[in-house]
Amino acid sequence: MKHYIILTVILPLLVAFLLPTIGRFSYFLARALPPIILIFSIVITACVYNNETAPFALHIGDFVAPQGIVFHVDSISLLMALSVQVFALFLWPRRSFKLQSEQIVSNKRYSLMLLLVASANGLAFSGDLFNLYVFYELLAVATFGLISFDTNEANQARFAAAFRYLVISATGSVMALLGIALVYFLTGTLNFAHLATQQANLFNPIGLSAFALLLVGFGVKAELFPVNSWVPEVYSAASKKLSGYLAGVISKLAVLVIIKALLFIFPHSEAAYLMLGLGLAGLLIGELSAMRSNDFTRMISWSSVAQLGLVFIAFSIPGQAGIIAGLAVLFHHMFVKTALFLIAEKWGGRISDLHGQGYLNLIMSGIFIFVALSLIGLPPLPGFWSKFLLLNGLAGQEYYFAIAIILITTVIEVNYLFRVANHLFSREDKPVLPINNHHWFDTLTASLIVVALIVAVWELPTINDQLIIMSDQLLDIESYVNRVLISTENGL
Amino acid sequence: MHIGLGELLIELTLMPLVAFIVGMLMVLMMRRVGARLQRRVGPPFFQPLYDIIKLHSKETQISHGLIHDIGIIMAVGGYIAAETLLPVPGMNGIAEKGGLITLLYVMMIPSLGLALGVGQCANPNGSIGISRALTAMLAYDIPFVIVMAGVAFIYGTTNLVEVINIQQEGGIAAWGAVQMPFMALAGLFALQGMLGKQPFEVYVAPAEIATGPMVEMGGKYLGGLFVMQCFQLYTASVLYVTLFLGGGENWLFLLLKAFAVLLIPISIAFLFPRFKTDDLVRLMWKWPVLLGLIGLVLINYR
Amino acid sequence: MNALDLLLLTSLGTVLFSVVFSASLTGRMLLTMLYAVQTVILFQIDAGTEMVSSFGFEIFNHALGLSFNGLSWFFALITLGSAFFAAWYGLNQQQKLLHVGLSANVFSMLVLLSAGDFLSLFIAWELVSWSGVLLMVLGKQESLVATLKYITYAIAGGMAVFAGIILIYSWTGSLAFNAVTENPLSLSQYGTLAILLIGGFSVKMALLPFHLWQAEAYALTSGPASVFLGAISARMGLFAIVITMMHVVDLKTLDSIFLIPELFTFRDFLIWVAALSIILPTYTALRQNDARLLLAWHGIGQGGYMMLGLLMYDQMGSAGGLLHVFNYASCQAILFMSVFSILHRTGTTNLNQLGGLVARMPLSFLAMLVGIIGLAGLPPMNGFVSKWLVYRSLLSDGMAIVFLASVIGTLGTILSVYKLMHNSFLGQLRVEHEHVKEAPWSMTVPMMLLAIIIFITGVMPGISLELVANAQSAIGLTPVDYHLGGVVSANSAISGDLDMIWVVLVLFSGFGIAAILFLSAGKSRRVHQLDNYAGGHFLNANNQYQYSDNFYAGLMHIIKPWYRYSFKWFEGAVVSFVNLAAVFSRSFFNQAHMLIWMLVVVTTVMAVAII
């Protein structure tokens, strides 16, 4: 039963390649098939998550590790895969017009989305560096294509944005590849479990530089400082739902890849300090730049840069406290950022143009304020608890400077978020024109996110236990090694 | 000292009455001294009483409204109440139920009443006068408060009965003026300001703002202000005597000291031209405050 | 299910009720009744002992609980009373957000007052801050701007408190109130906690230098909201500071943290902050021409008295500080009510455009008169008693200069409230206000009730002193020796008692005698306001004969150069600094081409690797 998890990678991949052909025969089938596939793989993932209490390893083709490809399935990778698929379902691009040419374009878009989902799933599960790299590249290619799709023909900036992103991402990938090469040079293997046993070989300046290269290389997607200049441009040029998906879900995957590298390859304090420093820089620059933004989408893009900096700071805390804090901030941000981008779908554009809009659409403004409050960390919303865990962990390490920076940037955050609220609820005498480019389904998704956050408050103890389980599994490197390297009876 | 209710009530009635009579005598002294300084004869003995009766029995009594009336009532009534807080030989009244701080605040009620009454008169001259009066109060109260703090420190109490007892038990050496001479000097400045006498009578300024608050006060209203002036002179001088000159061992000494103290501001009053409001404030905040602060420092080192 | 649970549940129920029913007049009347019901329930809780609620839950192995003691009781009474009067006053206001905000504020404040550990204190603190926002946004555009400023300040303070709590957890391993008392810390740790916690809470209390947000935020919103906010909202900061001083850094510890060795301790610093908070905002109030802003600035100033009282070792001092919370709440409420009834009837609160309204709005005048006498601290109103206690404790503690500073504040208050009274109610009635009517009954009746309360608690301060003594015992201080009429000073360093009953009796007898004297003279004739001395001219209705503008010209001539606006400058400097940093961070990405950065990183890393 648990082998079926591999379907979550294979099936979307297969359908992605077949979709353009299918689409020529029946447009309806091409539209209906991807969501069905997604629902199917969500069901599989959910079943595996419910049934399997212990993590397990899938040796593809029954090849023994470390030569063969291994998929390692634990709670966190299952949860990430689940998030990838669920969010993809909710943020699925809507169909455009009925013209033949547009249909063909839509088909391509759907297949690229499926490719994105498949590679994201693979990224969540893969157990060795090279496999990871392959899926990462696949993901990147899918994003390049998706960014340049937009039903709004007037938005020509998307091509330029896609191109710039391509260049930076490609450079990042080369750096990552360089890092991988260095790791291979030092240890002769790329399997995570095997690397975990070889840590002695990696504890030298070359190992640190390998980690640094991996960090910055994969950090492009994770919006790490200093390779995050592409973020505001790309997120505002692409379709907002895609931006929400990228900022919310995909960036988290990239973070987890880096964390795996940290835990398996270079679990030493130098790496942690590097992450802490880059995280703080990202946090500061993100919040300050968000403050200066006059455009709503750019503002929340910078905010996502800052929040991801926060995630890196959290993961730089050694031990279980850091992992739990990091996971909490990560998951919270996933929900919040997606909601914000859904709001940007309606209200993206100049902030000063938003004056008085709040009164016209009370649901959306209510969602905005709720999400903003959770982002800032108003108790008892989940954002507060994640910040509490984070600051607690930092205090335990006596990183008082980081605590101060985080709290100061929160004040800046509240200022710019509620400046937007002021515009939304402005009472000046200027005329207010309703903005109509919105779909009920997006409002529904945003409301569901709010509901999820409220439920999270209720279920805090359960979530806390779950986080502890996840962090235990992540930190339990010995069992990981045993599972992957020794057992060979599982496989396809 | 525990006294019966009946005795207390008698004291409460007598104290304001005595204050009124003594006050009238003080007004008489003020006018006579002023007259001598200006080479005149001065009014006859009962003139203050005649003036008050005359004003109250005038036929034309102009009122600008209920608050106008209430203001005068408050002005006179407030002082009547303040007298009971000021212990005199043989009569303590309710001085032990509220000390120096209460006395100071109760003395502000007449000013407030007057201000309200003048306000309703709707005359800008009156309003200007009140604004200047309040500014002057801000000015002279600063040194007075420093004096109060000094008094509290030296005697260890704000109860005026105890202040008198401490001074009288120690003889002249225990008098406030001897123990804290700088404070006494600062207190004299404050006294001058409190009495509203030249050179600090800018709030009246007859030629400039048509007597200020009194511009629309005629008849019994002016009479009430006359009564208030009697009380004012009495209260200010007796308070100074209580704090610095050992109170009154008996009525004779009290009156002698009080009249002596009052002579100083009265004499000065007729010799100086009027200070402007901002000059008044500057003066009060410079010299008396400096003297008071020096006094405080000296007390602290004791 | 004890009385505290019932109180919290009823309060939550009131919130829900207000969301649904506050659109109709009957609904609003019921809502006002509900606050009275909550007060009744409050009286079922014994203020002398501690009552623990049955609500509580666990999070992260830490138990959060709610409990009430004498201190919470005292503040809760003031909260519910203010809400009751504000709701009554606002019966005719149809803005739903006002009523929902009011009930939400009451609920979150009750939760704050019953917080039983640091985490629930912080959670409730944030809830209180944000529910305050609901009440501040009810005015015009200017109120939104003021609210944003408030939010920024409030979150800054809240984050400082958060940092303090995180440090407590990290240093002692517990978030219970006895965490620090059970695990003593080093002096520098106490100092850090003191700065973070007291500083963070004092933002809400608007102590200097964190006071620039309060005046506009509290004044520019709608009437009943201003009444409630001005009365009690800022004092929640005082409550939290008392909690801090009870459980984290007490007065003795504060007095042992030396900022300048041998000379100046942290306690001295706080005393001076409080003293300056009395003087500077009061003299800023003196310059205001809008009646609402004038009152709001006084609110900031009076907070200094409360803080000052609490910093004294003397039992009279803490009694005075706490009593002042009660007294000031009643005075500020009645003054705001009076000013807003003027706004309601005339449409303006600009002091240079009003005058003579006593003839048309006598009840509002009476309310303002009572409020002014109370605010200035004159007998017979309650403000006198609390100020007397604070003064006495300053004298007992030997702090002459601070005593002088607080009296300077009082004198400034007297000047500025007289200006308020004179420019609005006294003086010449304007032509456009000839037909103004008295405020509606729903506004005047609560004003009169408040006036009665102010008077009675002034004459018989023992009533409110009993509550204060309970609060003092709950804090762990010796309660003040009080009786129905006032206090006795048996245990004080400086002797001197106070008995208000006698003072007020004598005062009113004096008035009586003066009245007899007055009325026994001739009968007075009412004349019109235009029948007035004008230097030989005849006045008519077109003459603007009111002296309003620049009311204290002589004083301002001296003081004006002293207003350096340094706090505003400092605030501006901080904002500019942040903006500059933001510009720099944005331009960082514009300037450097990202690829070059990456190349640089790669080469450095390779260099490090090879070397």
Tens of pLDDT, residues A67-101? 778 888 888 888 999 999 999 988 888 765 555 66
Return the percentage of chain B with pLDDT > 90, whole number.
21
Q: Does A432 touch chain C (CB under 8 A)?
A: no
Question: What's the number of domains chain A is made of?
Answer: 1
Q: Do B69 and C510 touch (CB under 8 A)?
A: no
Instruction: Classify residue A491: in a domain, yes or no.
Output: no
Residue B1's pLDDT is: 47
**Amino acid identity, position C536:** G
Q: Which of C497, C517, C526 sits opposite B96 (nearest CB)?
A: C497
Q: Cβ contacts (< 8 Å) between A285 and chain C: which residues?
A: 585, 588-589
Residues with Cβ within 8 Å of residue C571, at least 6 apart in sequence: C212
Binding-face residues of C in 564-593 toward A, CB within 8 A: 578-579, 581-586, 588-589
CB-CB under 8 Å, A411 with C152: yes
- Give yes or no for a contact between C8 and C66, defined as CB atoms under 8 angstroms apart: yes
- With cut-offs at 50, 70 and 90, classify the pLDDT of residue C591: low
Encoded amino acid at B109, one letter? I
Using alpha carbons only, give the angle A267, A270, A272 rounded to the nearest 5 degrees.
65
Interchain CB distance below 8 Å, B65 and C358: yes
Task: Give φ, ψ of C66 to 5 degrees.
Answer: -125, 135
CB neighbour class for A134 (10 Å; exposed up to 12, middle 13-18, buried from 19): middle
Query: Chains B and C: how many Cβ contacts under 8 Å?
Result: 257
At C292 the pLDDT is 94
Q: Test C601 with A396 for CB contact under 8 angstroms.
A: no
pLDDT over threshold 60, residue C592: no
Which stretch, B2-16, B122-136, C334-348, C481-495, has highest mean pLDDT? C334-348
Q: Do C525 and B60 touch (CB under 8 A)?
A: yes
Of A118, A113, A91, nearest to A5 by C-alpha is: A118
User: What's the confidence (pLDDT) of residue A492?
Assistant: 40
Which residues from A are below 8 Å from C60, CB to CB? 464
pLDDT band per the 50, 70, 90 thresholds, residue B137: confident
Q: Please judge whether C518 and B220 are an interchain contact, meaning their C-beta atoms are less than 8 angstroms apart.
A: yes
* Contact list, B121 vs chain C (CB under 8 Å): 532
State yes or no: pLDDT of A60 exceeds 90: no
Angle between helices A296-315 and A320-347 in degrees, nearest 10: 170
Range of the domain at A162: 2-486
Q: Which of B61, B77, B282 sits opposite C525 (nearest CB)?
A: B61
pLDDT band at A387 (very low <50, low <70, confident <90, very high): very high
CB atoms B112 and C418 under 8 Å: yes
Chain B contact set for C525 (CB, 8 A): 60-63
* Chains A and B touch, using 3 or more CB pairs below 8 Å: no
Does the pLDDT value for residue C342 go beyond 70? yes
pLDDT of amino acid C240: 94
Q: What is the pLDDT of residue A104?
A: 67
Q: Which of B46-60, C60-74, C590-604 has the lowest mean pLDDT?
A: C590-604
Confidence of residue C225 (pLDDT cuts 50, 70, 90): very high
B86 strand-pairing partners: none
DSSP C258: E
| Mean pLDDT within B40-67 | 90
Q: Is C563 on the interface with A (CB under 8 A)?
A: no
Number of domains in chain B: 1
CB < 8 Å & 24+ apart, contacts of C530-535: C531/B62, C532/B121, C532/B122, C532/B123, C532/B216, C533/B123, C533/B125, C533/B210, C533/B215, C533/B216, C535/B210
Please answer yes or no on whether C521 and B223 come within 8 Å at the CB atom: yes
Quick one: tokens of C127? 């809830």
Domain limits, chain C: 1-249, 275-477+544-563, 566-610
CB atoms A206 and C609 under 8 Å: yes
Q: How far is B48 from chain C (nearest CA, A)?
A: 16
pLDDT of residue B141: 87
- Calculate mean pLDDT across residues B237-247: 89
Mean pLDDT of C135-160: 92
Highest mean pLDDT among A202-211, B167-176, C78-87: C78-87
Percentage of chain C exceeding pLDDT 70: 97
Mean pLDDT of C241-258: 87
- The confidence score (pLDDT) of residue C54 equals 74
pLDDT given at position A436 = 67
Query: Is pLDDT above 60 for C157?
Result: yes
Cβ–Cβ under 8 Å, residues C398 and C314? no
Residue A314: predicted pLDDT: 93
Q: Do A408 and C606 touch (CB under 8 A)?
A: no
Contacts of A67 (CB under 8 A, 6+ apart): none
Q: Exposed, middle or buried: residue C434 (CB in 10 Å: 0-12, 13-18, 19+)?
A: exposed
Tell me the average pLDDT of chain C.
88
Give Cα separations from A53 to A75, A76, A469, B288, C413 (angstroms).
8, 12, 10, 86, 71
The yes-or-no verdict on residue A181 having pLDDT over 50 is: yes
Q: Is C592 on the interface with B (CB under 8 A)?
A: no
Q: Establish if A415 touches chain C: CB-CB under 8 angstroms.
A: yes
Residue C385 has pLDDT above 80, yes or no: yes
Q: Which residue of C has its CA nearest to B296?
A: C400
The mean-pLDDT minimum among C50-54, C59-63, C174-178 falls in: C59-63
Q: Which residues on A lie below 8 Å from C137 (Cβ)?
A: 425
Closest residue of chain C to B282, computed from CA coordinates: C558
Tell me, yes or no, whether chains A and C touch by having 3 or more C-beta pairs under 8 A.
Answer: yes
| Averaged pLDDT, A435-462 | 84
Residue B149: CB atoms within 10 A of its CB come to: 26
Query: How far apart (Å, rounded) are the C-alpha atoms in residues A433 and C352?
Result: 39
Compute the half-sphere exposure of residue B238: CA atoms within 13 Å on the CB side of its CA: 33
Mean pLDDT of C193-201: 93
- Look-up: residue for tokens 């608007």? C206
What residues of chain A lie within 8 A of the CB of C601, using their CB?
175, 212, 216, 226
Strand pairing report for A56-59 and A70-73: antiparallel
Predicted local distance difference test score (pLDDT) of residue C299: 92
Q: CA–CA distance from A218 to each of A120, A168, A169, A214, B51 (Å)?
A: 14, 11, 9, 6, 101
The 10s digit of each residue's pLDDT in C164-173 is: 999 999 888 8
Give the mutation candidate from A359, A408, A418 for the C interface (greatest C CB count, under 10 A).
A418
In this complex, do C532 and B122 lie within 8 Å of one another by their Cβ atoms? yes
The residue range of the domain holding B42 is: 5-300
Q: Which residues of C358-387 are buried (b: 16+ CB within 10 A; e: fewer)?
A: bbbbbbbbbbbbbbbbbbbbbbbbbbbbbb
Instruction: Find which of B57, B80, B222, B228 to mutate to test the C interface (most C CBs within 10 Å of its CB).
Output: B80
CA–CA dist C430, C432 (Å, integer): 5
Chain C partners (3+ C-beta pairs within 8 A) = A, B
pLDDT higher for C318 or C611? C318
Q: Cβ atoms within 10 A of the Cβ of A212, count?
A: 25
Query: Residues near C73 by Cβ (< 8 Å), separated by ≥ 6?
Result: C42, C45, C47, C467, C470, C471, C474
Q: Give the pLDDT of residue A329.
A: 93
* Nearest C-alpha neighbor of C327 from the set C469, C212, C463, C419: C463
Confidence of residue C101 (pLDDT cuts 50, 70, 90): very high
CB nearest B64 (choices: C522, C529, C557): C529
- State the nearest Cα–Cα gap between C188 and chain A, in angstroms: 14
Query: Within a domain: residue A492?
Result: no
- Average pLDDT in the A346-357 region? 83
Overall average pLDDT of the B10-39 stretch: 90
Residue A228's Cβ-side half-sphere holds a number of Cα atoms within 13 Å equal to: 32
Q: Which pLDDT score is estimated for A100?
A: 60
pLDDT at residue C364 above 60?
yes
The shortest C-alpha distance from C35 to chain B (Å) reads 36
**Residue A273 reports pLDDT greater than 70:** yes
Q: Is residue A161 part of a domain?
A: yes
Share of chain C above pLDDT 90, in %: 47
Query: What is the pLDDT at residue A355?
Result: 83
- Angle formed by the axes of helices C96-113 and C25-44, nearest 10°: 10
Which of B105, B243, B296 should be substituted to probe chain C, the one whose Cβ sees the most C Cβ atoms within 10 Å?
Answer: B105
CB–CB contact C583 A178 (8 Å): no
**Contact between chains at A291 and C578 (C-beta distance less than 8 A):** yes
User: For residue range C489-535, what is the model confidence (pLDDT) as tens digits?
Assistant: 766 677 778 888 888 988 999 999 999 988 888 788 888 888 888 88
Read off the pLDDT band of C355 (50, 70, 90). Answer: confident
Chains touching B (at least 3 CB pairs under 8 A) are C
| Interstrand relation of C486-487 and C482-483 (parallel, antiparallel or unpaired) | antiparallel
At A137 the pLDDT is: 92
**Residues 109-168 of chain C whose Cβ lies under 8 A from any Cβ of chain A:** 122-123, 126-127, 130, 137, 140-141, 144-145, 147-148, 151-152, 155-156, 159-160, 162-163, 166-167
Its pTM stands at 0.91
In tens, the pLDDT along C470-496 reads 888 888 888 888 888 888 876 667 777
CB contact under 8 A, B142 and C408: yes
Of these ranges, A158-172, C258-272, C413-427, the one predicted with the greatest mean pLDDT is C413-427
Query: SS3 of C51, please?
Result: strand
Taking residues A111-133, report their average pLDDT: 89
User: Tokens at residue B261, please?
Assistant: 């103290």
Cβ separation of B81 and C507 shorter than 8 Å?
yes
Q: What mean pLDDT value characterizes chain A?
A: 85
Are C608 and A208 inside 8 Å of each other by CB? yes
Q: Which of residues 251-310 of A touch C (CB under 8 A)?
A: 284-285, 288-289, 291-292
pLDDT at A489 over 50: no
- Distance from C-alpha of A185 to C-alpha of B66, rounded to nearest angstrom: 101
Measured between beta carbons, which residues in chain C are less than 8 angstroms from residue A210?
Answer: 609
